[in-house]
Amino acid sequence: MPTKWLTRIAWTVWVLLLGISLLTLWSIENVQGTDGSTVFKQALWATLSLLIGIILIAFVPVHRFLFLDRLLYGLSIALMVLALVAGREVHGARAWLAVGPLAFQPVELAKVATGMVIARLTRMHFPFRWREIVIAGILTALPAGLALLQNDTGSALTFAGVAIGLVSAGMPLWLILTGVAAYAIMLVVIAGKLFWVLLVAGTLAATALLFWRKKRSNPYQKLAIAGALLIAGYALLIHFAFHDLLKPHQQQRLLVLTGQLEDPRGASYHVVQVRRSIISGGIAGRGIHQVYFTRFHYIPAQRTDFIFTTIAEAWGWLGATLLLILYGILLTVLWQMGITHRDGYVRVLAGCFIGFFLVHIVINIGMQVQLFPIIGIPLPLVSYGGSQCLAFSLMIALLIALHRHAYELIR
C-alpha cells in the first residue's frame, strides 16, 4: 500500500479512537450527572497528544530519534524513581507525579523509551544473540521492576509486549510460547491442581528415562528430564508464591478467575457486574441515555479500566466489535509501516509498540470477560488517562514519521 494511504489510515483511526474516548466519557458524565471534568481533561490530553504528534511528524528529522532514545529512557527511569519516593498515591499505587492540576504517570513514557532503546540495541547487534536478549531483558526489567515497587502490577505486566519486538529482531518464538505455557500452568496450580502438574512432570521424566535408557548421551533424554524438572519446580514456586507472598485481595482475584471463589458482593463483584453490563447491551446496545449499570455506578473505575463495559452496554455487540476492528486496522497499518521500512530499527520499534498495544487490549478486555484476573490496565487511547493517551499517541506518531522516510537508513 502506498505510503500516503498508510499514513492517512493511521491518522484516521488514531483520531477516531480519541473521539470514541471523549464520546464515551461524555455519556458516562451525562448519565451520572457529574461535572464533566474528566471529559475536559481528556480533551486537553488528546489535543496535546495530537499537537506533539504533528510536531514529531512534520518538523523533527528522523535521524534525531536515535539521539532521543537514551535520553528518554534515562528521564523516564528517573521520573519513576521520583514518583516512587515522592509521588501521588492513586488506588494504592504510588506511580503519579503532579503537574499543576494534572497528574502524569512516568511508566507510560518508559514504555515508549524502552521500545526505542530495544530497537537501537537490535540495530547495533544483528542478528540477535543471547547476549543481546539478556541486555534487552535487563532494559525491560528495570522499568517493570520499578512499576512493581510502585504497586502498579498492571503496568509492570505490559512490558511483556517487548517480546513481539524481540521476535521481529530474531528472538526464538518458542520463548513466547513458553510464556503462554507458564501462564497456563500458573492457572492450573492456583485452581488446586498442583498434584496433576507434578504427576505430568514426573511422567515425562520417567518416560524419558525408559524410552532412552540405552542411549545415555541422547540429548532428547536430557532435554525431556530438564523440562520435567523445570515444570515441577515452577509449579512448586507458584504454589509457594500464591500462598505465602500474595496479599489476600490478590489471592481472591486469582481464585475468582479460576472459578474457586464465588462472592458476588465481594471478590467477584467486578466480574459479575461487568458480565451483566456487557450482556445487557445485546446486539445494538441500550443507547447512551439508557445505560443502567453505568448510571447507578454498579461498575467501579468505569472511566478507566472498565470503559469497555460502557461501550458494550451503550452500543452493544456492534459497537464493541467496531472498536476491536479499529484496533485491528491500526495495528495492521503500524505493522505494515514497520516491515516495509528499509531499516531494521523501524521493524523492531514497530514490533515493540504493537506489543504494548496488544498487551493492553488483550488484558483489558480479557479481564472483563474473565480470561485474566482484575488488574489496572487501561484501554489504549480510549480509557480516561492523559499519560497513556500521550504515550500511545507518541508510538503512532513516531512510526508515521519514520514511515514517511521508508527508504532511508536512520543514521
Q: Within 13 Å, how many C-alpha atoms sit on residue 205's CB side? A: 14
Is 410 among the domain residues?
no
Among 210, 238, 257, identify where a domain stops.
Answer: 257
How many separate domains does the chain show?
Answer: 2
* Alpha-carbon gap, residue 42 to 215, rounded angstroms: 66
- Assign 305 a pLDDT band (cuts: 50, 70, 90): confident
- Same domain, yes or no, for 197 and 96? no
pTM exceeding the 0.95 threshold for the entire prediction: no
Please tell me the chain's helix, strand, coil percentages from 3-state DSSP, rounded to the nearest 5.
Answer: 70, 5, 25
* Of 348, 382, 289, residue with least CA distance to 139: 348
Among 257, 277, 303, identify where a domain stops.
Answer: 257
CB 32 within 8 A of CB 24: no
- Same domain, yes or no, for 146 and 291? yes
- Please tell me the predicted confidence (pLDDT) of residue 291: 65
* Alpha-carbon gap, residue 192 to 186, rounded angstroms: 10
Indicate whether 411 pLDDT > 60: no
- Same domain, yes or no, for 173 and 294? yes
Domain that holds residue 208: 192-257
Share of residues in the chain with pLDDT > 90 (%): 20
- Please tell me the predicted confidence (pLDDT) of residue 394: 93
List, for residues 13-68, the tens digit of each pLDDT value: 999 999 999 998 888 887 776 776 788 889 999 999 999 988 888 887 777 777 78
List, for residues 317-366, the tens digit of each pLDDT value: 888 899 999 999 999 999 888 888 777 788 888 989 999 999 999 988 88
- Same domain, yes or no, for 250 and 392? no
List, for residues 168-204, the tens digit of each pLDDT value: 666 666 666 777 677 677 777 776 777 677 777 777 7
Distance from first CA to last CA of the chain, Å, rounded?
Answer: 25
Segment 264-275 shows an average pLDDT of 61
CB 147 within 8 A of CB 80: yes
* Alpha-carbon gap, residue 144 to 247, rounded angstroms: 20
